[in-house]
Amino acid sequence: MTQLFALVPKSAEVGTSLGAVGQQMLGKFKKLVVTSLDTAAWAQISGAGRRTGMPADWAELPPELWVAWSGTWFYRNDRVPALDGAALLQRFLDVGVKQLALELAGQFVIIIGDARRQTLHVITDRCGSLHVFVTETADGIAVSTSSAVLAAWLGAVTPDRPQLDPLGVHQFIATGVIYDDHTLWAAVKKIGSGMVCTINAAGLQQTRYWHFSDLTPEAYALDEAVERIHAALTDSIRHIAGAFPLIVSDLTGGYDSRLLLSGLLDAQVSFATTVSGAPSTPDVRVAGELANMFTLPHAAQHITKNPSFDELIQALIYTDGEYDAFEYARISKIQTNSAAPEAISLNGSFGELARGYWWELIWPQLTACQPLSGDLLSRQRFTAIPYDSSIFSPAGQINLQHVLAEILDRTLADIHHFPKSMQMDALYYYQRMNHWQGRLVSATNQIRACVSPFCFPQLLEPILQTQAHARLRSLLPRALFERHHPKLAQLPLEHGYPPRRFNMRTAWQFLPLMSHYTDKIKSKLSVKFNRFYPSKTLQTSSTSLVDLFPDVMVHLNSKNSELLETEFFNAEKLKTWFAPNTVLSGAQLIQWKRLVTLELLLRRLQTND
């Protein structure tokens, strides 16, 4: 799928050369066959996978206008066909960039060049799921869907080597996610969600076209919400099927994929389903039962082998080194094998917002209009998993809990007077989904088109505006299943109880909840215990790194470590962690995988081969 690089130079003299370097870096890092648009000297754009040649209707548009995009975009009211560049440009001319952005749905980055005004517009989707980045030098402002490409470009057009961002690096190694506008690179920033970013001779201006503050809290009671969401889900899936006749949908044992399944069935479109995991897991078992119930084409995949070095490098290319390459190597294999390349992959992401996700932290004060504590959320969710901070040098050490608390407080600045339930939704939406789920979408989009209908505004807005008591404990999807798909309400979820409303007649069906919550309590106690009593030794299992990842360790030890060349890590500690016979497991092994991901990224940018 398309990857983008665009440049607005500050003088015509440097435009062509700087754009050519960006084009070269995109081709080298992403290993794409790069094509270019013939545009004015002030802006250059490169993309791989764009359609070549222009349809006849482009001739009616001003020749100074052009458009390129990554991801999948649709119109919430079918005013303009999905993925029709000429129609999108005409709409841009008719209503302007902000109104155009408000009318779009999907997970995308759209870049519109307007040579008449020497202006570049970058539109991000409402959640910022398709990541796009910006950097600036004395000679120009560059935009790309790859943070690594911008880092490589900076290294090629400036005299200094691009510097790592200490906060971005610490967040990634500690949590696996990079929040706010940070990346792994100090001079490369992520453009926010729901933004129109305008770049011209005056510089860069960002305008938010949509925000949680535009919503009306507690607007819909349960019955009205069920009907609005059912209609919007069905309609959104029909929009998707109109652009992508081949659909493959994730199907698990949980609520969100089952809610997606209800929309697919009611939209009456053709689709197949897929699940990943061991055959004995509840997810795989329940997904198979659902597929059999509705006679659906269904595939179950189970990846058991650790990734090879070449698979790690490919995962690195997809993720820009901002996601655990070991984990994404598994995901990319599943996506590659799941269906024909032209099929679109659907998932139930954002569906958890219909179920009051994370609300247990604010119950019973769901509708209290009081500011949420960023410190509480940072401590109990965003930095809840312990990590070994001793691998960082003093230059790389930060108080992660304090930093993320400030980010969360800033996220809520415009809606601190909203009900606590909606504030919690906003934190989950703007931080967790934007940066964690968005990183996955941005990577998978390079393999095949992918989207979640639950991020479409016509569906997302009624979900978020439903009264809190109607979403608490997943009441909203339960009620929807009972009203529109009784079969889906009867088959138990992966935890053994059915997604239906609890009453005296159904109480016996919820007995498995007791063991489910017992396991959750044990898990939380285990995390707290490990936080206060961390392991004093690395050796926590009997399998060494060289036994787990033989070809990876050969490559790691064949060259000097790039991580040791940075100032952010404790050299002696890092050498111990990278020794072939070191034994790691659990949280430490996960942390090691992130270190390897960063090491491989630095090597790739050094050699660019």
Q: Would you give the DSSP letter of residue 499? A: S
Tell me what the mean pLDDT of segment 381-390 comes to. 90
Q: What is the band of 459 on the pLDDT scale with cuts at 50, 70, 90?
A: very high
Domain coordinates of the chain in residue numbers?
4-210, 214-355+434-456+467-500, 361-426, 545-607
Q: Strand, helix or coil at 102? A: helix
**CATH 3.60.20.10 is held by the domain 214-355+434-456+467-500:** no
pLDDT of 428 strictly over 60: yes
Tell me what the mean pLDDT of segment 248-269 comes to. 96
Q: What is the band of 532 on the pLDDT scale with cuts at 50, 70, 90?
A: very low
Q: Which residues contact 542 (CB under 8 A, 6 or more apart)?
A: 583
pLDDT of residue 537: 43
Q: Residue 536's CB: how many other CB atoms inside 10 A?
A: 5
Which of 246-255, 441-450, 501-510 is least confident? Answer: 501-510
Which one is predicted more confidently, 27 or 12?
27
How deeply is 505 buried, as exposed, middle or buried, from its count of CB atoms within 10 A (0-12, 13-18, 19+)? exposed
Q: Note the pLDDT tens digit of each residue in 556-571.
A: 887 788 998 899 999 9
Tell me, which fold does domain 4-210 have in CATH? Glutamine Phosphoribosylpyrophosphate, subunit 1, domain 1 (3.60.20)
- Residue 84, token pair as written in the block: 């029709």
CB 577 within 8 A of CB 387: no
Q: What is the band of 536 on the pLDDT scale with cuts at 50, 70, 90?
A: very low
- How far apart (Å, rounded) are the C-alpha atoms in residues 601 and 148? 8
Pairing mode of beta strands 4-9, 189-190 = unpaired
Q: Would you give the DSSP letter of residue 50? A: P
pLDDT of residue 528: 52
- Alpha carbon 210 to its chain centroid, in Å, reads 19
Which of 286-295, 556-565, 593-602 is least confident? Answer: 556-565
Task: Kindly report each contact of residues 173-176 with a partner whose C-beta sits within 8 Å and lies 24 or more positions away, as own/partner.
Answer: 173/387, 173/391, 173/392, 173/591, 173/594, 173/595, 173/598, 174/383, 174/387, 174/389, 174/400, 174/591, 175/382, 175/383, 175/385, 175/387, 175/400, 176/323, 176/324, 176/436, 176/590, 176/594
Please state, rounded to an integer, the average pLDDT across all residues of the chain: 88
How deeply is 510 buried, as exposed, middle or buried, from its count of CB atoms within 10 A (0-12, 13-18, 19+)? middle
